[in-house]
Amino acid sequence: MSEQLTRRSFLKGVAGVVGVAAVNSLTGCASTEPSATAAESTTATETTAETAATTAAPVGKYIPGTYTGTADGIHSTITVTMTFDEEKVTDVVLDVSGETPGYGQDAGDALREALLAAQSTEIDGVSGSTITSQAVIVAADKCFAQARGEAVIDVVTVDKGSENDWLGAEPNIDDASVAETWDTDILIVGAGNGGMCAAAYAAQNGLKFRIIEQNPVVQDTRHWYGAIDSSESKKAGVTVNRKKLLAEISRYASGKCDQKVVNTWINESAAMHDFVAGILESAPYNYTCVFTAGEEARWPESDDSPDYMFPEQEHTYHGSEIPRNEVFRQYIEGLGYSVDFNTSLVKLEKDANGRITGIIAQKTSGDFVRINASKGVLLACGGYPGNPYMMEALDPLGTSVTTACSYSPSDQGMGIRAAVWAGASLDKEAAPMLFDRGLVAPGVDGGYVESSNAFGGKAFPGTVKQYNPGTQPFLKVNRKGMRFTNESSPYNDTSYAAGNQPGRVYAQIHDANYMEDIKRFHTIGCSAMARNVPGMMEGQIAQYVEEGLIFQADTLEELADKLGFDADAKANFLATVERYNELFDKQSDDDFGKMAPRLSAVRQAPFYGCWLGASLLTTEQGIAINENTQALDEERNPIEGLYVTGDMSGSFFANNYPCLMPGIACGRTLTFAIKAIKQMGGLE
Interval 395-411 mean pLDDT: 94
Average pLDDT, the chain: 87
Taking residues 306-335, report their average pLDDT: 85
Distances 473 to 213, 489, 580, 592 between C-alpha atoms, Å: 40, 8, 13, 13
Residue 57 confidence (pLDDT): 36
Q: Cβ contacts of residue 334 below 8 Å, gap of 6+?
A: none
Which residue type sits at 88? K
Question: Which pLDDT score, from 0 to 100, does residue 273 have?
Answer: 97
Q: Could you report the per-residue pLDDT of 232-267, keeping only the tens digit for each?
A: 999 999 888 899 999 999 999 999 999 999 999 999
For residue 608, what are the β-bridge partners? 510, 552
* C-alpha Rg value of the chain to the nearest Å: 27
For residue 210, the surrounding DSSP H or E stretch is: strand 209-212
CA angle 291, 297, 299 (to 5 degrees): 170
Three-class secondary structure of residue 120 per DSSP: coil
What is the pLDDT at residue 30?
28
Cα angle at 117 between 113 and 120, to 5 degrees? Answer: 105
Q: What pLDDT does 76 receive?
A: 75
Lowest mean pLDDT among 57-71, 368-382, 408-422, 504-518: 57-71
Q: Are 78 and 71 in contact (CB under 8 A)?
A: yes
Q: At 410, is the pLDDT very low, low, confident or very high (cuts 50, 70, 90)?
A: confident
Model pLDDT, residue 320: 66
* 176 vs 328, residue with greater confidence: 328
Mean per-residue pLDDT for 389-393?
A: 97
Same fold, 7-156 and 432-617: no
Q: What is the pLDDT of residue 151?
A: 56
Provide CB contacts within 8 A for 636, sequence distance 6+: 425, 624
Q: Which of 12-26, 211-225, 619-633 has the lowest mean pLDDT?
A: 12-26
On the question of pLDDT at 357 being above 60, the answer is yes
Q: In sequence order, what are the residues at sequence separation of 6 or more whose Cβ sits closer than 8 angstroms to the Cβ of residue 121? A: 115, 137, 140, 141, 144, 364
User: pTM score, two decimals?
Assistant: 0.81
Q: Where are the domains of the chain?
A: 7-156, 432-617
Query: Cβ distance 484 to 508 under 8 Å?
Result: no
User: In terms of Cα–Cα distance, which of 511, 504, 487 is closest to 595?
Assistant: 487
pLDDT at 55: 32
pLDDT given at position 299: 77
Comparison of pLDDT for 210 and 45, the residue scoring more:
210
The HSE-up count of residue 215 (CA atoms within 13 Å, CB side) is 26
Residue 424 has a pLDDT of 98
Mean pLDDT of 153-178: 81
Task: Give residue-wise pLDDT tens across range 647-667.
Answer: 999 999 999 998 888 899 999
Q: What percent of the chain has pLDDT over 90?
A: 69
Q: Residue 311 has what pLDDT?
A: 59
CATH class of the domain whose range is 7-156: alpha beta
Domain 432-617 CATH class label: alpha beta
pLDDT of residue 8: 32
pLDDT at 152: 58
- Is the pLDDT at 90 greater than 70? The verdict is yes
- Three-state SS string over 455-494 comes to HHHEECCCCCCCCHHHHCCCEEECCCCCECCCCCCCCCHH
pLDDT of 98 reads 77
